[in-house]
Structure 1
Amino acid sequence: MSQEGYQPPAAKTTAETRLDMHESQRASPGKTPIQVLHEYGTKSGNIPVYLMERAEGEAHQPSFIFRVTIGDVCCTGQGPSKKAAKHQAAEAALNILNIDVGIVGSTLTCVDVVVNRNVPVNPDSNGVAGETNSSPNPVGILQELALQRGWRLPEYSVLMEAGPPHKREFTVTCRMESLAEKAVGNSKKAAKKAAAEKMVAKLRSLSGSAEITWSPKPSVRFENLRNSSAEKISLLRRNPLSIPNTDYIQLMLDLSKEQGFEVTYFDIDELTVNGQYQCLAELSTCPVTVCHGTGISCGNAHNDAAHSALQYVKIMASIK
């Protein structure tokens, strides 16, 4: 065929790529970060490449670390399965590329795609990116911070949806290591961003400066608790946990200080079917311990959760 007059198709501009991404988003809602990153890579000519760096942990609780490379962006992710690790790596890459991924319950879906490959990185930020020319991206800041420090990746969960269909309000919790912050927004994306902003502010407050230097206490293995002969753990092994009007919150606080783990209480907005308050007590043990509590008030629910957690620790610390 004659090539005379033939003009090759022009490369797509960033705006055209962005428009194509929005069009495909409307056609196929509910995409995972892996799918969104692959679609972006196909359109930009840089197909993402995944590589498993290592697998660690025990057989019943494995942990996989995957690295994804797309163009000049390279990110890692960690998870209890290969798919989960790739999922986290893809989400980290999307954050760096400024392609936002929101949440729907526990499933991540593409809610807004904005391609911006010219995101400046402050050389004094120790690699914690997320700054654009207009405003910081708190979700990206937390993601990169976790990857740098080897922390668990931030977790976002929708606690509550309220309001009429045309004016919904979403409450989202951001959890990072032993810390938790929640925020309200008129969309899941807005609530997630607001919760991330509050988490960044808390980390800076705990650090005492704009530079985040706070570090979580190391996880304590149950093997360490079993081998410990310290005063509080020894008392826990010997004494019953059935004395009325006991302040189990204080007992748990004393034990956590002695053994070097942290305790965090998460209030659940929804009441039980009997109208009682609910909460979760999370211990920074390895593996993480989470126990449920209920009561006629938030304080009672915390005390009940601490009681349940103490019972669990007592069992685990007494196994020979």
Structure 2
Amino acid sequence: MSSAMSQEGFQSVSEESPGDTSLNALETQRGTPGKTPIQILHEYGTKSGNLPVYVLEKAEGEAHQPSFVFSVKIGDVSCTGQGPSKKAAKHQAAEAALSILQQDNETVCGNRVDGIPNRNIPVKSESNGVAAETNNHPNSVGILQELALQRGWRLPEYTVLMEAGPPHKREFTVTCRLESLSEKAVGNSKKGAKKAAAEKMIAKLQSLSGCSEITWMPKPSVRFENLRNSSAEKMCLLRRNPLSIPNTDYIQLMLELSNEQGFEVTYFDIDELTVNGQYQCLAELSTSPVTVCHGTGISCSNAHNDAAHSALQYIKIMASIK
């Protein structure tokens, strides 16, 4: 498998779906000039709640005659396509998936939502009139997990930060963490909040990539061995100087050190106050192994500063061990 696979994998088409997107109308759409199989499949995925995920499986051949193989997965359907360009291979894969979905629609007429078979129900099972669950939003949690698996990233982590409201109107706050990134969302159920956080994470990845196709890559982890062996300016200052000077901006010191050494620092606020009524937060460093330090203070910024102070103390100790 080509190493280029890690660079590909997530495809999203931004065009809104005009008109009828039911699979019964696919034959008409597929004959419409200017409407590509990728666009039609994306429209179907948006309606059915399973956005297609594309993966570059092979890239071979000479420079003047390249050959690409892409796979596409949408719901429980997986297909591959081959072509002289990445775009052509994706189109072939999308075309193959559309053909299978068209056949499924003709075979299973019970599993439909607005004329589209619901891919969350197994196609071969008999529904016997059981109503399919309508899902108008893409399966963002599944897409994010699949993306992490394709790229070899740590899997997304979801944490319920807070539950509030009366029993009949609960409100949940969930954080989604992926590598060094974090997004927070609120929902009236844990599942809804988790899904909303995943959607925000996908939007952030697309924003960082500068387009709908996700090309963002996390920075490689920095090992403590590298920190111990570093003779760079900020690391030397950390080793020499005490960390007990009042009114020091430890957040800035941590920022300068992380920029010098190539790791990232993420602060996670904890909604719950301490027993003394102070704010809390966690500082996470993208070192190997990952470093997490706790901080408290009379404000959020003071808690961040305290967490940065703890993290600097930890690095100072670990970087001095020979």
Aligned to 2:235, what secondary structure does the other structure show? helix
Equivalent position of 1:168 in the other structure: 170
Q: Aligned to 2:208, which of 206, 209, 232?
A: 206
Equivalent position of 1:192 in the other structure: 194
Equivalent position of 2:287 in the other structure: 285
In the TM superposition, what is the alpha-carbon distance from 1:155 to its structure 2 partner? 0.3
Q: Aligned to 1:233, which of 232, 235, 245?
A: 235
In the TM superposition, what is the alpha-carbon distance from 1:236 to its structure 2 partner? 0.4
Summarize the Cα distance change of 1:300–1:117 in structure 2 as closer, same or farther, 3 Å threshold: farther
CA distance in 2, matches of 1:240, 1:249: 16
Equivalent position of 1:243 in the other structure: 245
Q: Aligned to 2:277, which of 255, 275, 295?
A: 275
CA distance in 2, matches of 1:302, 1:266: 9
Question: For each residue in 1:269-298, what CA deviation from the matched residue of structure 2 results, as whole angstroms up to 9, or x when unmatched?
Answer: 000011100000000000000000000000
Larger Rg: 2
AA partner of residue 121 (structure 2): V
Equivalent position of 2:40 in the other structure: none
CA distance in 2, matches of 1:149, 1:213: 10
Find out whether 1:136 has 2:138 as its counterpart: yes
Q: Aligned to 1:147, which of 142, 146, 149?
A: 149
In the TM superposition, what is the alpha-carbon distance from 1:115 to its structure 2 partner? 2.5
Question: For each residue in 1:16-47, what CA deviation from the matched residue of structure 2 results, as whole angstroms up to 9, or x when unmatched?
Answer: xxxxxxxxxxxxxxxxxxxxxxxxxxxxxxxx
CA distance in 2, matches of 1:117, 1:219: 43
Summarize the Cα distance change of 1:159–1:117 in structure 2 as closer, same or farther, 3 Å threshold: farther
Q: Aligned to 1:294, which of 296, 302, 314?
A: 296
Summarize the Cα distance change of 1:169–1:253 in structure 2 as closer, same or farther, 3 Å threshold: same
CA distance in 2, matches of 1:223, 1:72: 45
Equivalent position of 2:256 in the other structure: 254
Which sections of structure 1, spanning at least 5 residues, go unmatched? 1-70, 74-112, 119-131
CA distance in 1, matches of 2:282, 2:297: 12
Aligned to 2:231, what secondary structure does the other structure show? coil
Which sections of structure 2, spanning at least 5 residues, go unmatched? 1-75, 79-118, 125-133
Equivalent position of 2:10 in the other structure: none
In the TM superposition, what is the alpha-carbon distance from 1:178 to its structure 2 partner? 0.4
TM-score when normalising by structure 1 = 0.59
CA distance in 1, matches of 2:77, 2:185: 34
Equivalent position of 2:121 in the other structure: 115
AA partner of residue 256 (structure 1): S
CA distance in 1, matches of 2:252, 2:304: 11
Question: For each residue in 1:196-230, what CA deviation from the matched residue of structure 2 results, as whole angstroms up to 9, or x when unmatched?
Answer: 00100111111111111111111000000001111
Aligned to 2:263, what secondary structure does the other structure show? coil
Summarize the Cα distance change of 1:154–1:276 in structure 2 as closer, same or farther, 3 Å threshold: same
Q: Aligned to 1:307, which of 306, 309, 317?
A: 309
Aligned to 1:205, what secondary structure does the other structure show? helix
AA partner of residue 208 (structure 1): G
Aligned residues: 198
Equivalent position of 1:88 in the other structure: none
Report which structure shows greater RCO (CA 8 Å, sep ≥6).
2
CA distance in 2, matches of 1:216, 1:199: 14
Equivalent position of 2:221 in the other structure: 219
Aligned to 2:268, what secondary structure does the other structure show? strand
Percent identical across equivalent pairs?
86
